[in-house]
Amino acid sequence: MHIVIVGDGKVGYMLAEQLCIEGHDIAVIDNRSTSLTNSENSQDVICIEGNGASHKVQIEAGVPRADLLIAVTNADEVNMLCCMVAKKLGAKHTIARVRDPEYQEQMVFLKEELGLSLTINPEYAAASEISRMLRFSSAAKAESFAKGRVEVVEFNVREGGLLPGLALHDMYRQLHVRVLVCAVQRQDEVFIPDGSCVLQAGDKISIVAAPHDINAFFKAAGADPRRIKNVMIVGGGRISYYLANMLVDSGMHVKIIEQSEARCHLLSEWLPKASILHGDGTDQDLLHEEGLQGTDAFIALTGIDEENIILSMYANSCKVEKVITKVNNARFIDMLGNSGLESFISPKQITSHRILSYVRAMQNATGSNVETLYRLVDDTVEALEFHVREDARCIGVPLKDLKLKPQFLLGAIIRKGKCIIPGGGDSLELGDSVVVVTTQRGLRDLNSILKDA
């Protein structure tokens, strides 16, 4: 597909890189020559310097024949204008990054009026992901498939409990919960396990299950999740606003510590059910006065990665049950592997992953039947949701008889709204959705998982 990206910042660069790997024809528009020079030198993209909302610049970038235009500049209004111009020029689909809470409230109207295919609000998406992490408090990360009927969660195997030394083919007999371990990260190695795999302390595993079975699994495995009731947030930005709204509606008590007095006044107006404190979140005395050691979850959401990391490490040392850290620089996450911190959130990565999922879904019209895509285990594993069509060669074949390529696993089957964790005797039916987990990139068709494909 021909895809035009307006905005060559961190998100635009990340998108261009990933979409190039997928084999798409990419043009990037930005008015900063230094950013474009970096992209041109490191990626196989066409770079055009200029105003992305300009009719003339968009024509030069090939927007009239574009399958998709993605606008991810720093200005919401510019992004929406870019998409409006692109639709007038003939672009088939448009995606705009829109971050302002006022626009979020009228997003349905804006999408319809501007002809937007998708809007992505990074802060709202990040808040939603944090909310899921708090729902499954023992998980480091959680993703939803099939409209919430299937969850894929990442979990660190610790000393103690039943998991270390447990072979996967014995898991149901030991725990009596239907889950499937679909990926294992052991030190620097990431692999799709088979039944003979024996879990070890220190493994990071990804689990597929129905939502009601996730916490049952943690409880049976000796990692009994504590229900989150009290949440302390440092930083009163947009993510904090969206997140606090979600949490107070679910009955949690939320306390936000923010350094800007003016912002505190606004948050007090917008969030009457939350406690808003004016103060420095890096002040240890203040944190303890406000009950850090008695809180169930601590979330560092300031605008500075380093500050969030230090705050989170301190909360972790104070034995806070759940600690979540906002980090935009992916290199920091790699460096913090042995820090004791488990749950990280990156609005920029979430944005690029959601857009990539949409692009994959768009390819349905050109032969692909990928419905949803998520990246797991530090982006080394893909979990993809497929719709089982008439041409699927695996229909009616027991899974034990399917000859899959190495490093492919069928993680879950969704049939008539129910999640099935598959066993060897199960088979796929026409109309099912199926979650496929793999370490390979670029999978577009369900038949491609078979050895003779």
CB atoms within 10 A of CB 269: 9
CA angle (156 as vertex; 153, 158 as ends), nearest 5: 145
The Cα–Cα gap between 363 and 387 comes to 13
pLDDT tens profile 268-314: 999 999 999 999 999 999 999 999 988 999 999 999 999 999 999 99
In the prediction, which pLDDT does 366 show? 47
pLDDT digits (tens, 9 = 90+) for 173-231: 888 888 889 889 888 888 888 888 999 988 888 888 888 888 888 888 877 667 889 99
CB burial of residue 69 (10 Å; 0-12, 13-18, 19+) = buried
Report which residue type is found at 172: Y
**Domain covering 230-320 in this structure, CATH number:** 3.40.50.720
Taking a C-beta distance cutoff of 8 angstroms, is the pair 171, 209 a contact? Answer: no
User: Tell me, what's the pLDDT at 224?
Assistant: 62
What count of other Cβ atoms lies within 10 Å of the Cβ of residue 255?
18
> 3.40.50.2300, 3.40.50.720, 3.30.70.3270, 3.30.70.980: which CATH number matches 2-120?
3.40.50.720
88-130: pLDDT as tens digits: 999 999 999 988 877 777 777 777 777 888 888 999 999 998 9
pLDDT at 371 over 80: no
Lowest-confidence segment of 58-67, 87-96, 175-184, 338-347 by average pLDDT: 338-347
Taking a C-beta distance cutoff of 8 angstroms, is the pair 344, 126 a contact? no
Q: For residues 146 and 372, what is the distance between their CA atoms, to the nearest angstrom?
A: 8
Share of the chain above pLDDT 70, in %: 96
CATH superfamily to which 368-449 belongs = Regulator of K+ conductance, C-terminal domain (3.30.70.1450)
Distance between CA atoms of residues 126 and 354, nearest Å: 11
CATH 3.30.70.1450 residue ranges of the chain are 126-220, 368-449
Q: Is 319 exposed, middle or buried (0-12, 13-18, 19+ CB in 10 A)?
A: exposed
144 pLDDT exceeds 80? no
Give the pLDDT of residue 178. Answer: 87
Asked whether the predicted pLDDT for residue 3 surpasses 90, the reply is yes
Residue 235 has pLDDT above 50, yes or no: yes
Range of weakest confidence among 43-57, 317-331, 418-432, 437-451: 437-451
User: In the structure, what pLDDT confidence band is assigned to residue 167 with cuts at 50, 70 and 90?
Assistant: very high
Q: Which two tokens stand for residue 219?
A: 């409880």
User: According to the model, what pLDDT value does residue 453 have?
Assistant: 59
For residue 217, give the nearest of 207, 232, 204 by alpha carbon: 207
Superfamily holding 126-220: Regulator of K+ conductance, C-terminal domain (3.30.70.1450)
Please tell me the distance from the alpha carbon of residue 263 to that of residue 258, in angstroms, as a whole number: 7
Question: Distance between CA 442 and CA 430 in Å, rounded?
Answer: 24
Show the 3-state SS of the chain: CEEEEECCCHHHHHHHHHHHHCCCEEEEEECCHHHHHHHHHHCCCEEEECCCCCHHHHHHCCHHHCCEEEECCCCHHHHHHHHHHHHHHCCCEEEEECCCHHHHHCHHHHHHHHCCCEEECHHHHHHHHHHHHHHCCCCCEEEEEHHHCEEEEEEECCCCCCCCCCEHHHHHHHHCCCCEEEEEEECCEEECCCCCCECCCCCEEEEEECHHHHHHHHHHCCCCCCCCCEEEEECCCHHHHHHHHHHHHCCCEEEEEECCHHHHHHHHHHCCCCEEEECCCCCHHHHHHCCHHHCCEEEECCCCHHHHHHHHHHHHHCCCCEEEEECCCHHHHHHCCCCCCCEEECHHHHHHHHHHHHHHHHHHHHCCCEEEEEEECCCCEEEEEEECCCCCCCECCCHHHCCECCCEEEEEEEECCEEECCCCCCCECCCCEEEEEECCCCCCCHHHHECCC
* CA–CA separation, 362 and 392 (whole Å): 19
How far apart (Å, rounded) are the C-alpha atoms in residues 380 and 129? 19
- Identify the CA nearest to 368 among candidates 72, 44, 65, 67: 67
Q: What percent of the chain has pLDDT over 90?
A: 36
Query: Which amino acid does the sequence have at 37?
Result: T
- Region 143-170: what's the mean pLDDT? 83
Contact 72, 6 (CB under 8 A): yes
Q: Where in the chain is the domain with CATH 3.40.50.720?
A: 2-120, 230-320
